[in-house]
Amino acid sequence: MKRRYETILLFDIDAGEETHVAFLNRSKALIEQFKGGLLDKDVWGVRKLAYEVRKKTRGFYVRLDYYSEKQIVEEFERVIRLEDSVMKYLTVLLDDNFDPEKYKQDQSKKLEKDEETETSMFDEDTPLNETAKDDDIEFDNNNDVEVSENQMSKPLEEDTIEESVESEENK
């Protein structure tokens, strides 16, 4: 019976990219040795750590999503502990009864649905919401500002300003 796991690895950034790639290739071979497969590899890159680990403040993160037999966790974590470039790791069981064929079918259906949604968003038959009519719009030639006829205002007169100031003082 196959199980689905997720392992997050925190590499020392001083070890170099070649070391990370070599370890990830060995990890993939180990997963395949236990009759499993790598579903996804997310390289998060260099991130600042919340606290120091081995006197380092930055680390290189990688997330592995894979399926295999349950014996892999013990062997994989043993290999991780032997690797000097891995500062921390965490393995989580995602699914106790994993079917790789069903997963592939679900992913292909999801991909097709995403493509349909993307193409339907840009159909030419979709009506646009019209909020203003061309007859109601004027342009101010000085400022190139769009102004509606019913929003146009007259400039304030000096008398009007004085009246509003006096009314506020009386309150």
CATH number at residue 37: 3.30.70.60
| Residue 87 and residue 20 in contact, taking contact as beta carbons nearer than 8 Å | no
Q: What is the total count of domains within the chain?
A: 2
Question: Distance (Å, rounded) from C-alpha 82 to C-alpha 8?
Answer: 16
Residue 70 included in any domain: yes
Residue 116 included in any domain: no
> 30 is in which domain, residue-wise?
3-101
What the block records as the tokens of 106 is: 């679900």
CA-angle at 50, arms to 47 and 53, nearest 5°: 85
Residue 125 included in any domain: no
Question: Distance (Å, rounded) from C-alpha 80 to C-alpha 144?
Answer: 65
* pLDDT values of the chain reduced to their tens digit, one per residue, 171 residues: 899 999 999 999 999 899 999 999 999 999 999 999 999 999 999 999 999 999 999 999 999 999 999 999 999 999 999 999 999 999 999 999 999 899 888 888 888 887 777 766 655 555 555 444 555 555 555 555 554 455 455 555 555 555 655 656 665
pTM metric for this prediction: 0.64
